């Protein structure tokens, strides 16, 4: 797979920098054994940061995540149907994002009509080592992955906040409301990052990427 260029703050660093990231799988093997970030700014230009994953733990590589997507009955059926209706499914680059002690895999899926040069985002697929979720937007996919919502091809309802004045026995949705707030925060940070990057405001975009990572860290912590 091709490397991805991102703005991020590496562990132990104080500032945002421009890095080239690449998940690493050895020849003839599909599992992930490392993650590499090539640094491209200032005095650190030309150096790298490498995460080596333990040999005693199997970490899914990009091809294995792609296989999990293909093996999902709902996803594979929908992608096949879209490809038979005069359109073409375009699968975006699979991003492998370190978040705390976990890896978040993210892949956008686009649909391009035969007479249209502009693909349309139709699905976002997210995965952790032990589960996979999807939705028509990043926010809905996050709600399915972390918030207990059901993965859906159409816009899904976000977990409802508790009703004010409800009795104590009905106050169980409060943690879900907190989780919903984290999911909305992560989705907003992603949207802001994309907008600022398109506007060329790279410093501000890097800050939004860091805020996104912090929100993902909080979500991962709640799942333990």
Note whether residue 192 is domain-resident: yes
Note whether residue 216 is domain-resident: yes
In this prediction, residue 165 carries a pLDDT of 41
Other beta carbons less than 10 A from residue 112's beta carbon: 16
In this prediction, residue 219 carries a pLDDT of 78
Phi and psi angles of residue 3, each rounded to the nearest 5 degrees, phi first? -70, 160
Is there a contact between 89 and 111 (Cβ–Cβ < 8 Å)?
yes
Cα–Cα distance between 177 and 175 in angstroms, integer?
5
Structure tokens at 67: 């296989």
In this prediction, residue 69 carries a pLDDT of 92
Q: Could you give the 3-state DSSP secondary structure of residue 58? A: coil
Closest CA to 19 of 32, 4, 33: 4
Calculate the CA 126 to chain-centre distance: 5
pTM: 0.70
Note whether residue 200 is domain-resident: yes
Note whether residue 16 is domain-resident: no
In this prediction, residue 14 carries a pLDDT of 80
Angle of helix 202-223 versus helix 138-146 axis, rounded to 10? 20
Other beta carbons less than 10 A from residue 30's beta carbon: 14
- Domain hosting residue 77, numbered range: 59-223
In this prediction, residue 172 carries a pLDDT of 38
In this prediction, residue 147 carries a pLDDT of 83
Phi and psi angles of residue 148, each rounded to the nearest 5 degrees, phi first? 85, 5
Is there a contact between 111 and 87 (Cβ–Cβ < 8 Å)?
yes
User: Torsion angle of alpha carbons 12, 224, 109, 60, nearest 10°?
Assistant: 80
Is there a contact between 51 and 33 (Cβ–Cβ < 8 Å)?
no
Residue 148 CA: distances (Å) to CA of 141, 142, 171, 172: 10, 9, 17, 14
In this prediction, residue 136 carries a pLDDT of 92
Is there a contact between 157 and 149 (Cβ–Cβ < 8 Å)?
yes
Is there a contact between 183 and 213 (Cβ–Cβ < 8 Å)?
no
Beta bridge partners of 34: 24, 52
Angle of helix 62-71 versus helix 73-83 axis, rounded to 10? 80
Please return the burial class of 56, using the count of CB atoms within 10 Å of its CB with bins 0-12, 13-18 and 19+: exposed
Note whether residue 65 is domain-resident: yes
Note whether residue 181 is domain-resident: yes
Structure tokens at 11: 């562990």
In this prediction, residue 224 carries a pLDDT of 58
Chunk the chain into consecutive blocks of 10 residues (it has 224) and report each block's average pLDDT, rounded to whole numbers: 82 84 88 92 90 88 92 90 84 85 90 83 92 92 87 60 38 57 82 79 80 80 65
Note whether residue 1 is domain-resident: no
Domains contained in the chain, number: 1
Beta bridge partners of 113: 87
Note whether residue 183 is domain-resident: yes
In this prediction, residue 155 carries a pLDDT of 60
């Amino acid at each position: 797979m091709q490397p991805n260029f991102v703005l991020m703050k590496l562990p132990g660093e104080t500032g945002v920098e421009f890095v080239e990231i690449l998940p690493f799988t050895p020849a003839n093997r599909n599992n992930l054994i490392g993650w590499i970030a090539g640094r491209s700014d200032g005095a650190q230009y030309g150096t790298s940061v490498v995460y080596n994953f333990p040999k005693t733990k199997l970490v899914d590589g990009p091809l294995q995540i792609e296989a999990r997507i293909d093996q999902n009955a709902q996803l594979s059926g929908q992608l096949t149907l879209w490809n038979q209706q005069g359109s073409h499914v375009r699968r975006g680059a699979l991003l492998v994002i370190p978040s705390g002690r976990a890896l978040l895999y993210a892949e956008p899926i686009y649909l391009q009509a035969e007479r249209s040069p502009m693909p349309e985002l139709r699905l976002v697929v997210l995965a952790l080592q032990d589960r996979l979720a999807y939705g028509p937007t990043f926010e809905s996919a996050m709600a399915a992955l972390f918030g207990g919502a059901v993965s859906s091809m159409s816009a899904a309802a976000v977990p409802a906040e508790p009703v004010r004045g409800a009795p104590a026995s009905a106050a169980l949705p409060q943690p879900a409301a907190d989780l919903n707030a984290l999911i909305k925060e992560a989705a907003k940070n992603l949207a802001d990052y994309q907008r600022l990057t398109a506007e060329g405001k790279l410093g501000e975009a890097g800050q939004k990427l860091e805020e996104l990572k912090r929100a993902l860290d909080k979500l991962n912590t709640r799942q333990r």
